[in-house]
Structure 1
Amino acid sequence: MNSLTMGIVAHVDAGKTSLTERLLYAAGVIDRVGRVDDGNTQTDSMDLERKRGITIRSAVVSFALGDLPVNLIDTPGHSDFIAEVERALSVLDGAVLVISAVEGVQPQTRLLMRTLDRLRIPTLLFVNKIDRVGARYDALLADIRRLLTPAAVPMESVTDLGLRSASVVPLPVQRAEVGEMLAERNDSFLELYLEGAEVDNAAELRRQVATAQMYPVYFGSAMTGVGIIEVIDGIRTWLPRAIAAPDDELRARVFKVERGAAGQKIASARIVSGTLAARATVPVHPLDGPAYQVRPSGIDVFEDGGRHAVDRAEAGQIVALRGLKSIRIGDQLGVRTSYAHRLFAPPTLETVVSARDRVKLFQALTQLAEQDPLIRVRKTGGTGEITVSLYGEVQKEVIASLLESEYDVDVTFSETTPIHVERLIGTGAAMREITEGPWAAGVGFRVSPVAEGIEYNLEVELGGLPRAFHTAIEETVRQTLQQGLFGWEIPDIRVDLTHTAYWSPVTVAGDFRKLVPLVLLQAIAEAGTTVLEPVNHFELDVPSDTVSRVLAHVAEHRGIVTQTTLTETQAHIEGTIPAATTHPFESLLPTLGRGEALLATSFHGYSPVPGPAPSRARTDGNPLNEKQYVLNLNQV
């Protein structure tokens, strides 16, 4: 099936959802164009999305542009919802990156462009709002080439820029500027070009766009519809179409999970190849853990601007699947294929959530976490305190709104605090066998630091222990590593299983699940850990006459400036700042920058915490204290 799955991405307020409305109108899906400000757009369906005028959850709509079936995914623009963007990018054939002709290239725009380039996703750039006062053309193109990519090629010029009468004038593809840019990126084309031979710019541009080497730039106004026909033609002409046969092996990827009106799970998936039939057995490959099989009870296909039930779906379609109780975002159906499933850093902040009914609150948050696997929910042992991880302050309002509207739970939040991690200082080992009492099992571990990730290795014979026991040990090891000596996760560690013992028929898998935390944390205690805090990279634009005052507050908030660029009127500052002080610093910027400051932050890495190591309340009964741990197990 010949089709295109594309995404529209942008910094918040660039006009992304407005462009989506225009495309739907041009395709005949809607009979009038909705407005974000009026809260009546097609893809922003949540009450909070309509109220705030921002996209929070990715939305899918399918339609046809001429003979080309298109699956369009409208993604959030606010940095607090970058996880939604990540999931959409994993299933795209191409993308349109929207830039405001007035506000220009924003820090979030740069982050998105770097990600699109890293994934080699073919992309068109659409410069919106050419009819607004302050719109730019030459200066903006220069910024795009300097800040985003030098391979940006304008496909149009603009007349009456900045006026309501603004319009676009197509530029010929067969012009010298385009030929020179294409020749810089293809030696064979360069040779023909220098020889003066007749070359086909359009064919070469199509090839280089498909390999993410060149980026056509279109201009227009999503509000008035100017330039929309041209950008549609650009989508049809330059973005590559996915071609896959229905009789190929099934390959599908889940990029969204939500709950239906009756509380049932609904999983949205892109079918890359093959055919998926309702009630047919399908292999599922989770991101972590063993494969298993499912039988979807129902399949809906996104088509003609809506969604309707079908018995089977084919390659090129996006489907909503029902009846998959254990499905998670990132799972693959059919044949497993490799892809980049972690593009952005996990949340580095958390907050305590309170409600009258803690049981109902925890159940509701657990269901919300299914829709966003990067959002973790924790319940502290003893106090029952519930915490949830976040990307930023805006998510608090979103979570509160969802809990109230969908679960009838009214919540309050504590002050946001950073999520630390622990890193091993050295190596450690421990071994324990228990033959008396309620357990009958033995394990031994050796732990050591690694640069990145969790490495789990066997130094025992795999056949020396039943497979179910090995599974129980590995699963419990990974769960235990979520809380180190100070209660923080240990994300980078090598764990070697050095010893196992069991006594048939007494030993059960649950014995290993109880024993592993005691022995593993004993080994970690011997190695020792240090606590690290998350650090953000920041980009800050302020009026040039406020620089000295701003830099003083950067230093006061433990920030480090790495680059400063000054012009007569503007200063661009880059550096790093701890996540713990980012929000307090941001709250001062309206005053420091006279309301003109623009700050964007992204996760940079971790660094040792100055002063005493902060600790976190445990949820596991505290295996570091054996008596307390055993007492907690007996009470469960």
Structure 2
Amino acid sequence: MRTLNLGILAHVDAGKTSLTERLLYGAGVIDEIGSVDGGNTQTDSLDQERRRGITIKAAVASFVMGDVAVNLIDTPGHPDFIAEVERVLSVLDGAVLVVSAVEGVQAQTRVLMRTLQRLRIPTLIFINKIDRRGADPDRVLRGIAERLTPAIVPMGLAQGAGERDAAFAPFGPSDAERLSDRLAGQDDTLLAAYLEGDGLSYGRLRKALKRQTRQGRAHPVFLGSAITGAGVDDLMAAIITLLPATEGDAEAPVSGTVFKVERGPAGEKIAYARLFSGALHVRDRLAFGQGGSAKLTSLQVFDRGPAVPRDTAVAGQIAKLWGLAGIQIGDAIGAPRADGPRHHFAPPTLETVIYSRRPEDRRALHAALIQLAEQDPLINLRQDDERQEIFVSLYGEVQKEVIGETLAQDYGVEAAFRETRMICVERPVGVGTAIEQAPYPFIATIGLRVEPAPLDSGVAFQLEVEFGSLPLSFHKAVEESVRETLGQGLHGWRVTDCKVTMTHGIRYRDWATSTPSEHRNLTPLVLMAALKRAGVQVCEPVHRFGLELPADLLGPILPVLARLGASAGVPEMRGGACWLEGDISAARIHDLQQQLPGLTRGEGVLTAAFDHYRPVRGEIPTRPRTDNNPLNRKDYLTRVARRG
């Protein structure tokens, strides 16, 4: 049987969990459709998800249609939980992007679509809620073409939009001309036949649609309602026929990726993994991550709904694995894939200090946060031993509330937070070099050059030293130290968009202490000296926001946006409502959220998602260091000596 791992993605409240329920119902997996508001859906199983009515953790369910087993992965839509979406992307064969027929394209929709296109994940688009009052499918289609991608192929029309009995009328063979117009522009062979007037058969056009969809060059658009079921049967048929189901090679070497980790009732670690090739068997000894290995004590695979116990998991399946105590999110199982784990979205742009309300819970808080970091590595725990403070990174205030509730409910720890502050980054602005030749107390010589790299490229490390001057283990030690040190730049922020070149490297063979550790410890001093000479620019995160409010309140809110440093575009009128888009510093989003209800009579709706970094205006913000402080040589040497 072929397998399709399918992600359901959307901006919050577009209806993706309701669509997941409808798909499971349509496939006969469940007998009754659950309600998000009622808190009884299949994939929103956490108490907080049911209470808040939003998805917080990615969840998997399965159904079968014909000869295809579909693993359906419902992902969070709220931007505070974009890290869950990040991890799921690495295991998808295809996706359905859900857009509301009322709200249309929103900030998070654009973030998701850009990423799906960049990764060339075949994607269908489902315009949901055509039965809701205010639904305007034509406007939304135009918005998709303008704001997401012009490469859309509408697969039918909505009839009676805005009414309870709204329906989807699919195009058929008589509408071949519509398909010709959309597909010929993406295919030279089709275009030539179209222009020569040879005529394109409906069968040929459907094959072209399938090919272009699987290549990520065309995005079929369906319209309907997850609540009433309108259009969902047509969407299900398209999922099976247009998206690429695969038959994995069970005889090949084992290769898989872990995309989720959770703790079981007894505190045991459970890993969710997509298996790309090979087969797993209970009691197998599995290699994973960077040199880890353990015996697989139990496994489950998703089959017609939830996961069920099995002795074996084969290529294409998603499995829950027990017994792998040291495994982490992003780890490869067996043979690593060539396109290993990557970051597809921006890292968190906010951080806060978290502390226990009861002093006696301090150790319990730290232990609990370590477990939460297993499930969400991007909360990026940082501990400042001098100030006795623990920092966590955040995407937003809702995520902070969820962390606090989780600590109280699951670990019995009452936690509190200090004020949230934005996380900046540092970018080098010039070229800087530095070299240290066997300085006391290090028996090593290292030279480094730091220079700017393209935007959003992260950190690149390369060698420019004579081959054989250092063993490979020494090179690796320097590179690891470079990447770790750049976590805190001249002002304490992470350094990015930076290229570091090792220009000198000598191992003193006459000295037994000339080791990788010596080179690792010397590297921060050399690197920060080079970074000082290059100079850095501190940049703050900027969010793209969308604001819907009553049209008569546009005038009063514009001065408020100006005071918050936001820049707004041209307002778009939608009946009695106004839609406004613009940019605002991540540091001011919370202020706008707090003021919005009072400014808009409680009718304003704000959406925001990270868009880019820009140079800080005014006073340069700094961040307290939590490392050994290589900017202060005396302090650094004292700390390294103490640590050794």
* TM-score of the two chains, using structure 1 as the length reference: 0.90
Could you tell me which of 204, 216, 219 is aligned with 1:215? 219
* Alignment partners' CA distance in 2, 1:585 and 1:531: 24
Instruction: Indicate yes or no: 2:452 matched with 1:446.
Output: no
TM-fit CA distance, 1:293: 5.7
CA gap of 1:326–1:441, structure 2 versus 1, over 3 A, is: farther
Query: Does the CA contact (< 8 Å) of 1:182 and 1:205 recur in 2?
Result: yes
- Match in the other structure for 1:251: 255
- Match in the other structure for 2:481: 476
* Alignment partners' CA distance in 2, 1:612 and 1:455: 29
1:295-306 to 2 correspondences below 5 Å: 296-306=296-306
CA gap of 1:152–1:594, structure 2 versus 1, over 3 A, is: farther
* Alignment partners' CA distance in 2, 1:492 and 1:116: 23
* Alignment partners' CA distance in 2, 1:401 and 1:593: 29
TM-fit CA distance, 1:435: 5.3
- Match in the other structure for 1:315: 315
- Match in the other structure for 2:628: 621
Structure 2 unpaired stretches of 5+: none
Instruction: Indicate yes or no: 2:399 matched with 1:395.
Output: yes
Query: Does the CA contact (< 8 Å) of 1:538 and 1:600 recur in 2?
Result: yes
Greater Cα shift, 14-23 or 495-504: 495-504
Greater Cα shift, 17-26 or 345-354: 17-26
* Alignment partners' CA distance in 2, 1:305 and 1:316: 16
Instruction: Indicate yes or no: 2:501 matched with 1:500.
Output: no
- Match in the other structure for 1:386: 390
- Match in the other structure for 2:123: 123
- Match in the other structure for 2:525: 518
Cα deviation 1:565-594 (Å, max 9, x = unaligned): 567755444332222222213322333444
- Match in the other structure for 2:23: 23
1:46-61 to 2 correspondences below 5 Å: 46-61=46-61
Query: Does the CA contact (< 8 Å) of 2:545 and 2:609 recur in 1?
Result: yes
* Alignment partners' CA distance in 2, 1:67 and 1:230: 17
RMSD: 2.8
Instruction: Indicate yes or no: 2:136 matched with 1:133.
Output: no
Greater Cα shift, 102-111 or 83-92: 102-111
TM-fit CA distance, 1:377: 1.1
CA gap of 1:326–1:544, structure 2 versus 1, over 3 A, is: same
* Alignment partners' CA distance in 2, 1:293 and 1:302: 24
TM-fit CA distance, 1:488: 1.4
Cα deviation 1:590-616 (Å, max 9, x = unaligned): 334444433332323323323332221
TM-fit CA distance, 1:313: 1.8
* Alignment partners' CA distance in 1, 2:458 and 2:382: 22
TM-fit CA distance, 1:414: 1.3
Question: Structure 1 segments of 4 or more deviating over 6 A?
Answer: none
- Match in the other structure for 2:331: 331
CA gap of 1:24–1:511, structure 2 versus 1, over 3 A, is: same
Letter in 2 for 1:14: A
* Alignment partners' CA distance in 2, 1:594 and 1:112: 31
CA gap of 1:198–1:536, structure 2 versus 1, over 3 A, is: closer
CA gap of 1:486–1:117, structure 2 versus 1, over 3 A, is: closer
Letter in 2 for 1:624: L
Query: Does the CA contact (< 8 Å) of 2:433 and 2:447 recur in 1?
Result: no
- Match in the other structure for 1:196: 199
Query: Does the CA contact (< 8 Å) of 1:421 and 1:488 recur in 2?
Result: yes
TM-fit CA distance, 1:417: 0.5
TM-fit CA distance, 1:244: 2.8
TM-fit CA distance, 1:127: 2.8
Instruction: Indicate yes or no: 2:232 matched with 1:225.
Output: no
Cα deviation 1:357-376 (Å, max 9, x = unaligned): 33322222222222222221
Query: Does the CA contact (< 8 Å) of 2:122 and 2:214 recur in 1?
Result: yes
Cα deviation 1:119-139 (Å, max 9, x = unaligned): 232222223333333333444
Could you tell me which of 599, 608, 612 is aligned with 2:606? 599
Cα deviation 1:427-485 (Å, max 9, x = unaligned): 1314152555xx65454433333334323233445644454444333222221111122
CA gap of 1:421–1:129, structure 2 versus 1, over 3 A, is: closer
* Alignment partners' CA distance in 2, 1:149 and 1:446: 41
For the residue of structure 2 that corresponds to 1:400, the secondary structure is helix
Query: Does the CA contact (< 8 Å) of 1:435 and 1:441 recur in 2?
Result: no
For the residue of structure 1 that corresponds to 2:401, the secondary structure is helix
* TM-score of the two chains, using structure 2 as the length reference: 0.89
* Alignment partners' CA distance in 2, 1:104 and 1:453: 33
Instruction: Indicate yes or no: 2:344 matched with 1:343.
Output: yes
- Match in the other structure for 1:577: 584
Greater Cα shift, 475-484 or 523-532: 523-532
For the residue of structure 1 that corresponds to 2:379, the secondary structure is coil
* Alignment partners' CA distance in 1, 2:18 and 2:573: 34
CA gap of 1:448–1:121, structure 2 versus 1, over 3 A, is: closer
Greater Cα shift, 48-57 or 374-383: 374-383
* Alignment partners' CA distance in 2, 1:480 and 1:472: 12
Query: Does the CA contact (< 8 Å) of 1:445 and 1:499 recur in 2?
Result: no
Cα deviation 1:134-186 (Å, max 9, x = unaligned): 33344443433343344444444444443333444443244132333233332
- Match in the other structure for 1:66: 66
CA gap of 1:317–1:568, structure 2 versus 1, over 3 A, is: closer
* Alignment partners' CA distance in 1, 2:426 and 2:98: 39
- Match in the other structure for 1:92: 92
CA gap of 1:522–1:101, structure 2 versus 1, over 3 A, is: closer
- Match in the other structure for 1:529: 536
TM-fit CA distance, 1:339: 6.2
For the residue of structure 1 that corresponds to 2:126, the secondary structure is strand
- Match in the other structure for 1:376: 380
Greater Cα shift, 291-300 or 407-416: 291-300
- Match in the other structure for 2:106: 106
TM-fit CA distance, 1:326: 3.9
Greater Cα shift, 222-231 or 561-570: 561-570
* Alignment partners' CA distance in 1, 2:530 and 2:630: 12
- Match in the other structure for 1:263: 267
TM-fit CA distance, 1:5: 1.0
For the residue of structure 2 that corresponds to 1:374, the secondary structure is helix
TM-fit CA distance, 1:391: 0.7
- Match in the other structure for 1:611: 618
* Alignment partners' CA distance in 1, 2:84 and 2:10: 13
TM-fit CA distance, 1:77: 0.9
* Alignment partners' CA distance in 1, 2:193 and 2:537: 60
Query: Does the CA contact (< 8 Å) of 1:381 and 1:620 recur in 2?
Result: no
* Alignment partners' CA distance in 2, 1:295 and 1:462: 40
Could you tell me which of 456, 459, 468 is aligned with 2:461? 456
* Alignment partners' CA distance in 2, 1:101 and 1:110: 15
CA gap of 1:507–1:205, structure 2 versus 1, over 3 A, is: closer
* Alignment partners' CA distance in 1, 2:141 and 2:54: 26
* Alignment partners' CA distance in 2, 1:380 and 1:307: 41
Letter in 1 for 2:611: H
* Alignment partners' CA distance in 2, 1:199 and 1:487: 61
- Match in the other structure for 1:162: 162
Structure 1 unpaired stretches of 5+: none
Report % sequence identity. 48
- Match in the other structure for 2:14: 14
CA gap of 1:446–1:65, structure 2 versus 1, over 3 A, is: same
